Amino acid sequence: MWKSGSTDTTKIGFVNRNNQQNHGTRGVSGTDHGQVSYKLECMNKNCSHVYGANGTDIFQRKCPNCQDGKDGIEY
């Protein structure tokens, strides 16, 4: 079951400035201190790449597939 976080950027459905949409968390530990990972999906045309990111990174994440962003983490 996917859950929203407590901030605007960690809520399910949030889309950041790089067109990456948050699909929520299952509570899997992230790689940043005290963080959980979130499932993100690239909304850019012809991409739709799905990857994981720390909650603290959602607002600025770039797609690892089409925007040269960092590799995703387990989600």
Question: What is the residue extent of each domain of the chain?
Answer: 8-60
Average pLDDT over residues 2-18: 98
pLDDT band at 63 (very low <50, low <70, confident <90, very high): very high
CA 30-48-9 angle, to 5 degrees, is 45
User: What does residue 55 show for φ and ψ, rounded to 5 degrees?
Assistant: -55, -35
50-54: strand order across its sheet: 20-22, 37-42, 50-54
What value does the mean pLDDT of the chain take? 97
Q: What mean pLDDT comes out for the span 19-27?
A: 98
Predicted local confidence at residue 46, as pLDDT: 96
